[in-house]
Amino acid sequence: MSSPSLPGLRWGILATGGIAHSFTSDLRTAGRDVRAVGSRTADSAERFAAQFDIGHAHGSYDALLADDDVDIVYIATPHPLHAENAIAALEHGKHVLVEKPFTLTGDEAERVRAAAEHHGLLAMEAMWTRYLPHMTRIRSLVRSGALGEVRTLEADHTQSISTDPAHRLNALELGGGALLDLGIYPISFSWDVFGAPTSTVARGRLGDTGADTEVATIATYASGAIASTLSSSRAAGPNRAAVVGTDAFIEIDKVWYAASDFRLIGSDGAVREEFRSEIDGRGMQFQALAAEQIIAEGRRDSDILPIAETVAIMRQLDDIRGQLGVRYPQEG
């Protein structure tokens, strides 16, 4: 799938971990202008710059943010640093695409939103799944009434990840837990289909460090619809999703939150549509292309994932953590 012709923005990459590598690789696949990278050390920035043919390598985040050749910054630090880094970038006049979860808490998300509004800049959550072609088609089918009345959604995100207490998914000081890293995907998907829930009930299991390792949620909506989500950092499951209506349902293949195939199946069992995902790279470029388009059009918010919705999702995650008894040291 070719990328649209857009007036290019000059990207800066803040941090050089695994997600930054994946995102930057897809930016290059899409032919975008990656101008600079910043890391906590010059060596790390230089290695990253050499790998992706980036002209400016900065040995600090501040130096990256001061780079006049950068228009928009991708924030790829651990969750507890997202708000601080995003606000600093906005104060330097840079648009920001912030890796999910957008922040650690709803209050932090609100502060980033306020900073973006104050400076007249785009602050967008890098929930890349929302921007993938199969999700664009699913949104269209749901909203067209192709499923009839949509009544339920089921989605899981389960992986087998390290049990090392120092691993970031297990360390509370790093924003650890299955919910913010994994559970946010199906929860964001439920918002995409149903909007804001009227209630959420959560149950889970905590590991030895106090971070959540399994989380199940049931959310209800004003229409009476129900969404069921499951996340786990200790056991890998099917990672499929379904949206069920009175006339048809959508069945998304493994791994549903990445570029995936799906089928629209009628209540009689007949396949009405089969969608095949054919993209270049992993698919993280679509969110970047959307950000560039928004800015080129003079807008400062995403219609696919508005920042007000990002803040509301973070507050729902706060509520779920409260039900589980998970509290981060940064919350006091």
**286: region left, alpha or beta (phi > 0 left; psi from -120 to 50 alpha):** alpha
CB of 122 within 8 A of CB of 143? no
Predicted TM-score (pTM) of the model is: 0.95
Q: What is the pLDDT of residues 99-131, one digit of tens each?
A: 999 999 999 999 999 999 999 999 999 999 999
Flag whether pLDDT at 10 surpasses 90: yes
Taking the C-alpha atoms of residue 321 and residue 202, their distance in angstroms, rounded to an integer, is 8
Work out whether strand 262-266 and strand 271-275 pair parallel, antiparallel, or are unpaired.
antiparallel
> Model confidence at 7, in pLDDT bands (50, 70, 90)?
low
Burial class (CB in 10 A: 0-12, 13-18, 19+), 14: buried
User: Can you list the alpha helix ranges (DSSP code H) found in 250-331?
Assistant: 285-296, 307-324
Is residue 256's pLDDT more than 90? yes
pLDDT average, residue stretch 225-235: 98
In whole numbers, what is the pLDDT of the chain averaged over residues?
A: 96
Q: What is the pLDDT of residues 132-170, one digit of tens each?
A: 999 999 999 999 999 999 999 999 999 999 999 999 999
Q: Is the pLDDT score of 1 beyond 90?
A: no
pLDDT at residue 153, rounded to an integer: 98
The separation between CA 221 and the C-alpha centre of its own chain, rounded to angstroms, equals: 22
Please write the tens of the pLDDT for every residue from 267-308. 999 999 999 999 999 999 999 999 999 999 999 999 999 999
CB 230 within 8 A of CB 236: no
Q: How many whole angstroms separate alpha carbon 35 and alpha carbon 49?
A: 9
Cα dihedral 41, 25, 178, 225, rounded to 10, equals: 140
Domains of the chain: 10-127+288-301 (3.40.50.720), 133-278+313-331 (3.30.360.10)
d(C-alpha 64, C-alpha 130), whole Å = 28
Best CA proximity match to 275, nearest among 255, 260, 257:
260
Residue type, 14: L
